[in-house]
Amino acid sequence: MASFKGKFFALVMRNRHLLKGKLKPEVITQDSSIIDMRANIHKSAMKMARKTSGVNVAPADYTGLYAEWLTPDGAPDDTVILYFHGGGFVSGSAKEHRNIVSKFVKRVSVKALVFDYRLAPEHPFPAAMDDSVEIYKWLLEIGYAPERIFFAGDSAGAGLQFSCLLKLKELGIALPKAVIAMSPCVDMTLSGESHTTRLEDDPCTPIGSTETWLGYYVGDGDPKDPLMSPVFADLSGLPPMMIQVGDHETLLSDSLTLAKNAEKAGVDVTLHVWDEMFHCFPLLSPMFKEALHAMDEINDFIWKHIKLSRKV
């Protein structure tokens, strides 16, 4: 059973339209303005973009799209998390995620490189995947060993990192040490039953948003393309992965199917389905106990693999 605070946060999210002075929840269609949505997200994110004490922010010397380093005090020099931001493949940026990722890296005491990738509908698949591959290759070029690199991401970003891994595998490029996925979006066909069974429970996903935004991301492509929808891919050879997902989110089936397929392919999988929790709740740590405990699990997972890599 979820904690009182956990249920309270879910209630707030479910009724956030009332806080905006609207009587009905938001409905997303192809007539909804992407420009307005991005502007609203940016405005809200910048309001929260206070500097996190103990975390240094610096632009990266990357010549592609914008990227920035978030370095907590005392972080090891040889280890980095490549962080894939969420936003339904249509919104989000490194700067807009700075606040939540700063708190993330401060908890795990490992620096992160957070990067922008091209967004749909202007840039459908494979643009974001290609951008991800390029910045990973850049990390290798500037001296980071694959066994010292971790992938982490939330929502669409959590799904994008698996597309990146599969493309790297196809290209014969050494893969990172391990992967942390919070509520990954990995099935562009929306075939999972939770898209129906969790529709009324999910407090975070606006009505119609998944269908609309993934439609933009797919573009003219095939939603069953394994690089676009990793649930249809051969996952053998991928690094150890931790997947965290809430029982009350429409993307639950994506996580369950991905974990099942990865285990069948021989991948070391740690899956935790959190009772009554919602989309990407660990990023709200330490506001309620489930988020705090989920972040503790991520911390333990990362440091277990850091220690293993240093024995090599």
Q: What is the DSSP letter of 123?
A: S
Taken in order 184, 188, 191, 194, is the CA torsion positive or negative? positive
Kindly report, residue by residue over 135-146, the tens digit of the pLDDT: 999 999 999 999
The pLDDT value recorded for residue 310 is: 66
Kindly report, residue by residue over 181-235, the tens digit of the pLDDT: 999 999 999 999 999 999 888 888 888 899 999 999 999 999 999 999 999 999 9
The pLDDT value recorded for residue 81 is: 98
Alpha-carbon span 237 to 45, nearest angstrom? 37
* Catalytic residue (choose from 85, 249, 255, 285): 249
The pLDDT value recorded for residue 17 is: 53
Kindly report, residue by residue over 248-287, the tens digit of the pLDDT: 999 999 999 999 999 999 999 999 999 999 999 999 988 8
The pLDDT value recorded for residue 127 is: 98
82, β-bridge pairs: 113, 151
Alpha-carbon span 57 to 298, nearest angstrom? 22
pLDDT of 312 above 70: no
Mark whether 249 is an active-site residue: yes
Q: What number of other Cβ atoms are within 10 A of residue 24's Cβ?
A: 8
pTM, two decimals, is: 0.94
* Catalytic residue (choose from 97, 195, 279, 305): 279
The count of C-alpha atoms lying within 13 angstroms of the C-alpha of 157, restricted to the half-sphere facing its C-beta, is 25
The pLDDT value recorded for residue 25 is: 65
Structural contact between residues 153 and 280, judged by C-beta atoms closer than 8 angstroms:
no
Which residues are within 8 A (CB) of 74 and not within 5 positions of it... i.e. 6 or more apart? 109
**DSSP H or E stretch at residue 306:** helix 289-309
Structural contact between residues 188 and 220, judged by C-beta atoms closer than 8 angstroms:
no
pLDDT of 44 above 90: no
Determine the average pLDDT of the residues in 56-60: 97
pLDDT of 151 above 80: yes
Q: State the chain's mean pLDDT as an integer.
A: 92
Alpha-carbon span 229 to 184, nearest angstrom? 11
* Catalytic residue (choose from 102, 132, 155, 285): 155
Kindly report, residue by residue over 102-135, the tens digit of the pLDDT: 999 999 999 999 999 999 999 999 999 999 999 9
Mark whether 155 is an active-site residue: yes
Mark whether 279 is an active-site residue: yes
The pLDDT value recorded for residue 28 is: 87
pLDDT of 169 above 80: yes
User: Which whole-number Å values give the CA distances from 243 to 186, 258, 310, in the listed order?
Assistant: 12, 9, 24
Q: What is the DSSP letter of 206?
A: -
Could you tell me how many residues make up the chain?
312
